[in-house]
Amino acid sequence: MREEENYSYKTPSSQLVKIAEIASHYKGRPEMLMKVITKVQKIEPAFSASVASVIAREMDIPQTQVYSFVTFYAMLSVKPRGKYVIRMCKSAPCHVRGAKEIVRALEDLLQIKMGETTEDRRFTLEYCPCLGVCEQSPAIMINEKAYVNLTPESVRDIVKRYIRGEV
Amino acid sequence: MINLTIDGEAIAVEEGTTILEAARRLNVHIPTLCHHEDQAVKAVCRICVVEVEGQRLLPTACSMPVSEGMVVKTASPKVIKARKNIMELILARHPQDCLVCSKNGKCQLQKVARDLNMNRPNRYERDVRESRFDDSSPSIVRDMSKCILCGRCVEACTKGQGITVMAKENRGYGTAVVPPYGKKLVDTCCVNCGQCIQVCPVGALSIRDNTDEVYDQIAKGKHVVAQIAPSVRITLAESLGYAPGTVTTGKIIHAMRKIGFSKVFDSDFTADLTIMEEGNEFLNRLKNGGTLPMMTSCCPAWVKYCETYGYEQLSHLSSAKSPQQMFGAVIKTYYAKKAEIDPKNICSVSVMPCTAKKFECKRSEMCDSGYQDVDISITVEELAKMIRTAGIHFDDLEDQEFDSPFGLGSGAGQIFGTTGGVMEAALRTVYEVVTGETLPRLEFDQVRGTEGIREAEIDLNGMKVRVAVVHGLSNARKVLDEVKAGTSPYQFIEVMACEGGCIGGGGNAPKTRRILAERRRAIYEEDRSLPIRKSHENPYVQRLYEEYLGEPLGERSHKLLHTTYHSRRDLLR
Amino acid sequence: MEERQILLRNRGKINPRKASEYIATGGYEALKRALSMTGAEIIEELRLAGLRGRGGAGFPTFRKIQFAYDAPGDVKYIVCNADEGEPGTNKDRILLSCDPCAVFEGMAIVAKAVNAHVGFIYLRAEYAYLVPVLEQALESSREEHCLGNNIMGSGFDFDIKLRSGAGAYVCGEETALFESIEGKRGEPRFRPPFPGISGLFGKPTVLNNVETLANIAPIFRNGWEWYRTIGTDNSPGTKLFTVCGNVKRRGVFEFPMGINLKDLIYEVCGGMEEGRELLAVQTGGASGAIINASQIDMTLDIDQVSNSGGRLGCGTILVMDDRNCIIDIVRNNLEFFKDESCGKCTPCREGGTRLYQLICKIAEGRGSIRDIETIEDLAETMRLTALCGLGHSTAVPVTSSIQNFYSCYLRHIDREYCHVCSEEDDAV
């Protein structure tokens, strides 16, 4: 994806209406931005300029503030993402137990590199810091679900279930 | 009082004083980068670290309050080593082309680096921050490669102006201060006030330089005429190293003639003209049930703000143009005719304390003379550069007078340069027009001062008029919200985007509140020293109406001296 | 070796969503007792018990509460730090998923001490799946009158709100956490003012780690004298240890403070996998010291570990066998810190990445002795001048490993091929 496409992508207006509805409950309450953002993320994986401006308008805060907030937190994105975000733990406990092989298996299976999104916008591969399941490393998280004690074989099986729409 | 020792000297200071402030009282200057005396403490650059006995770490002097018995070393070898190491980290990501940087010689980073004696090669691979160079704005140029992430511009824009054009993006090593979503400045709700430039310690934010265009026009043999704004005579000397509040009107005129300007006019004159138009517009609205409160329109940053955030309240803005634009229209019509010069051979330059004036003169509405009314607007800082470039010994210049036929401005026009000045000037005229009486005392003390929002009630022969004076757009937002809600208690509101008014504008040398106080003192002194202090008594203004314009709000006045506004709400998307 | 389960006593035994089941095992009795005590008495009980923070720094808990107790103001807050971001740490997740009411009870007792009426649990985004568990446990605690208005008829009101993060390690730093709850970027604030005086929303705030709060109810249920019989003099009580890496048996274990690290690795966790030798242990997470095999005969309590140059921190034990390379591990640690620096202060924002670049240089065989000197010099500056704990401790793994594995650094500098480090090259 080219750099300028990262910002010019559009969010459907039907989504924006839903987002406005969420944010409108918190007008004049800037401290609730995190709550609004996490709620919005459940229905829209990425915060495009129009998403940010709708949130800003409804909460009565600057759009720049929304943008600045979103770009700070690793699990939020202003760039388009897949329906399923696969997060690979990059921290030492997973690293010492073969995280690299899991990464290779994921990249091979989805035919994208870490940090990329599949053409059909179904999967995004990302590194992330510790998932907090270190006693069962290596681990990944697909959206909000963690998968642990992975081997290249088991991770392929798991992702294939998502590909086939079984999850 | 708290007793402490700094570098071996004892001192007693009030509780809550920081180490930085206490040290300054002992004539010890601790270097700072992110610190700004008018802003919140940030403590992010860490260059001001000091050693405090008994503390494991090195606290920052800017944020650490003194405590009883504290023993501070501000420049121990340990401290100096840490500071140099921090500076080394900053410089490893900073461009090294200082000689061609707009802040060359005035850069705080340059100064601190020099003071720290950075006497060894940098140990890190040079990795200059991404520039994301942006000269899309007519007023402000951004070069993020020079940014040191002090956060001062963000505070100026967010707290002072209530806008937040830029904010931090990403985190860690990749942090940058930028407008959202890769936008260019021109596509944002930036009002071009330049307050961010005022506080930027480095060359990341600078004034758009239009001096080359002026030289071009002079070189082409154009009839280059200039107007200089009320504030310029107050602040220009500062840009050349003089003390704040040094007034140098005559020297500026002389220097400008030396540079090659054919005529030098005084915008105080059109400030008076503005009062004639705006004052009469106000009386007209008051008498005939027009839209009230009326809000002033001479500040182009405020006008753009209103067009963006108050797009449904535009009828509240006075339709009168700003003094700059009135002058532009008059120069290419009345003056051209009188001087028998084809207006297309005139290059009209304004010297302003303001970066937003560059935007204003390019507004498509501002062509009522049949040409772009004002061709080039340069700031005080740019004129100071031109004076330096010309090698002029400013100190030794003899005073000269403004050119005619606009040779005189009143004290009322002069105080346009400070917050409350437009209101006071208007009241001086409105009062006398309405009551037919002479004001016993010209000073309206209620509208003077530094409060963000000041209000006053004026009795015009039994008719009470409530007015407000506002500076800083975050304050303006409050009164605009009242206007929106229909609860505004005022009939007339003066708004200046910059703190302090035009003498605090983004085109001047960087200010602090202390400097601003000196400039304010100077501008009121200047008012007192002028022979005429009311706009309607300016004989040249009277002559202009007689010879050319007719009467205030008349047909020709309306065409040349008034304008329209349009919604910019799409900038919020 | 037998575990001593005080915090994990209900693990797998009760339905964590039901306060009634917690109550059936003696839950909320401690709160009942505390409700009859004054704030000063509660603080005194904690002082006598000697409880110290379990989040990393080991600060005496009673003193934190004392600060907020002494601070003027009617509105005060209790915050539970459940932003468990330290790599290799899972204990808070286990506590919140097995026995959340114990944490609520601890919060309520602290709230009673300082007369706070609102508490927040800041949960890291990676634990979003715990939200329903916590919501239900909160609701059922309210139904049992253990939270909410007029708790147990005492007239005291206290309720807890859930707040979540969105992926930022630095939000585990208390002031960054406040910023995040306030809807801002999670950037730490400078101190003073300290949270006890001006914390969340500028109000006096007591912030504690999940595990610290879970210790409070047992203290009030059984008395401080009982608590003092567990653990060591300076670090009473039990500690949850997360053992991960290359041991046979990994997991979260609860032992009294003072257990020997060697015993933990070999007896509790069964030692290395077949045919492998112990290379190194990192205690306290990514910001902890890396020690070599000869140093592991060490008593695990807060002071002993810090005396030996490391830190117990949150109780993470990462065990590495001889398939690993220390430089590669340090590189991994530094990459983590580089990505997690908030970018607010110069030393951490710039220094973190520079440390990472220097270690990469060494790992790739391009380094020199001078780079090691630069690392040590920069590390010292970061430790002395960074704004928050993240920047202070970023360099701990690298400086400790230079001390404890110097020969490994020299090998890399001599361009001896390291298959572990160079295998990374393509992935970077």
- Mind telling me how many Å the CA of A56 is from chain C's nearest CA? 13
Q: Pick from B540, B249, B209: which is nearest to B386 by CA?
A: B209
Greater pLDDT, C56 or B7: B7
pLDDT in tens, B242-271: 999 999 999 999 999 999 999 999 999 999
**Is the pLDDT reported for residue B124 higher than 60?**
yes
Give percent of chain C above pLDDT 90.
Answer: 91
Band of pLDDT at residue C253, cut at 50, 70 and 90: very high
Provide CB contacts within 8 A for B455, sequence distance 6+.
Answer: B446, B466, B467, B468, B469, B489, B490
Give counts: helices (H), strands (E), chain C: 19, 11
CA pair distance C211, C237, nearest whole angstrom: 11
What SS3 string covers chain A? Answer: CCCCHHHHCCCCHHHHHHHHHHHHCCCCCHHHHHHHHHHHHHHCCCCCHHHHHHHHHHHCCCHHHHHHHHHHCCCCCCCCCCCEEEEEECCHHHHCCCHHHHHHHHHHHHCCCCCCECCCCCEEEEEECCCCCHHHCCCEEECCEEECCCCHHHHHHHHHHHHCCCC
Can you say whether the dihedral through the CA atoms of B148, B152, B156, B159 is positive or negative?
positive
The mean pLDDT value for A86-98 works out to 95
Of B51, B281, B307, B381, which residue is the catalytic one?
A: B281
Please judge whether C87 and A133 are an interchain contact, meaning their C-beta atoms are less than 8 angstroms apart.
Answer: no
Of B45, B62, B190, B298, which residue is the catalytic one?
A: B298
Integer CA distances (angstroms), B565 to B162, B296, B312, B360, in order: 22, 13, 11, 12
Greater pLDDT, C313 or C83: C83
Sort B466 into a burial class: Cβ within 10 Å, 0-12 / 13-18 / 19+.
Answer: middle
**Is the pLDDT reported for residue A2 higher than 50?**
no
Report whether B431 contacts B439 (CB < 8 A).
yes
Paired tokens of C47: 């002082």
Instruction: Check if the interface score ipTM surpasses 0.90.
Output: yes
Q: Is B281 a catalytic residue?
A: yes
Paired tokens of C298: 């060490």
Q: Which helix (H) or strand (E) holds C320?
A: strand C316-321
Band of pLDDT at residue A4, cut at 50, 70 and 90: low
CA pair distance C312, C304, nearest whole angstrom: 9
Chains in touch with B (3+ beta-carbon pairs under 8 Å) read A, C
CA pair distance A17, A9, nearest whole angstrom: 17
**C-alpha gyration radius of chain B:** 25
CA pair distance A116, A139, nearest whole angstrom: 19
Report whether B199 contacts B39 (CB < 8 A).
yes
Of B88, B169, B213, B365, which residue is the catalytic one?
A: B365
Beta-bridge partners for A84: A123
Beta-bridge partners for B6: B9, B72
Q: Pick from C336, C230, C243: which is nearest to C281 by CA?
A: C243
Give the per-residue pLDDT at A15.
95
Please judge whether C318 and A97 are an interchain contact, meaning their C-beta atoms are less than 8 angstroms apart.
Answer: no
pLDDT in tens, C62-74: 999 999 999 999 9
CA pair distance C401, C359, nearest whole angstrom: 12
CA pair distance C329, B7, nearest whole angstrom: 43
pLDDT in tens, B78-105: 999 999 999 999 999 999 999 999 999 9
pTM above 0.90, yes or no: yes
Q: Is A130 annotated as a binding residue?
A: yes
Distance of CA B90 to the CA centre of its chain: 29
Closest-CA residue of chain B to C186: B171
Considering only the beta carbons, identify the residue of A33, A130, A141 that sits closest to C87.
A130
Tokens 């060697």 — which residue? C262
CA pair distance C78, B66, nearest whole angstrom: 29
Quick check: helix, strand or coil at residue B466?
A: strand
Please report the number of interchain residue pairs, chain A to chain B, with beta-carbon separation below 8 angstroms: 46
Q: Is A128 annotated as a binding residue?
A: no
Beta-bridge partners for C158: C148
Closest-CA residue of chain B to C373: B123
Q: Hey, is the C-beta of C338 within 8 angstroms of any chain B C-beta?
A: yes
**Is the pLDDT reported for residue C306 higher than 90?**
no
Give the per-residue pLDDT at B285.
96
Report whether A99 contacts A140 (CB < 8 A).
no
Q: Is A89 annotated as a binding residue?
A: yes
Q: Which of B111-148 are b and which e, b meaning 16 or more Cβ less than 10 Å from the residue's Cβ? A: ebbeebeeeeeebbeeeebeebebeebbbbbbbbbbbb
Q: Hey, is the C-beta of C417 within 8 angstroms of any chain A C-beta?
A: no
CA pair distance B10, B5, nearest whole angstrom: 4
Q: Pick from C207, C188, C185, C186: which is nearest to C196 by CA?
A: C207
Which residues of chain B have a CB within 8 Å of the CB of C339?
172
CA atoms within 13 A on the CB side of C95: 33
Q: Pick from A151, A136, A145: which is nearest to A167 by CA?
A: A145
DSSP, residue by residue, B306-373: HHHH-TT-GGGB--BPPHHHHHHHHIIIIIHHHHT--GGGEEEEEEES-SHHHHHHTSTT--TTSS-S
Q: Hey, is the C-beta of A72 within 8 angstroms of any chain C C-beta?
A: yes
**Is the pLDDT reported for residue B36 higher than 80?**
yes
- The Cβ of residue A134 has, within 10 Å, a number of other Cβ atoms equal to 32
**Is the pLDDT reported for residue C333 higher than 90?**
yes
Considering only the beta carbons, identify the residue of A75, A100, A130 that sits closest to C85.
A130
CA pair distance C384, A26, nearest whole angstrom: 41
Paired tokens of B531: 């022979």
Q: Is B34 a catalytic residue?
A: no
Quick check: helix, strand or coil at residue C185?
A: coil
Please judge whether C423 and A34 are an interchain contact, meaning their C-beta atoms are less than 8 angstroms apart.
Answer: no
- The Cβ of residue B455 has, within 10 Å, a number of other Cβ atoms equal to 16
**Is the pLDDT reported for residue B22 higher than 90?**
yes
Give the per-residue pLDDT at C312.
85
Q: Hey, is the C-beta of A152 within 8 angstroms of any chain C C-beta?
A: no
Of B51, B278, B381, B494, which residue is the catalytic one?
A: B278
pLDDT in tens, C256-279: 999 999 999 999 999 998 889 999
Beta-bridge partners for C79: C120, C207
Q: Hey, is the C-beta of C351 within 8 angstroms of any chain B C-beta?
A: yes
Can you say whether the dihedral through the CA atoms of B425, B429, B434, B435 is positive or negative?
positive
Quick check: helix, strand or coil at residue B534?
A: coil
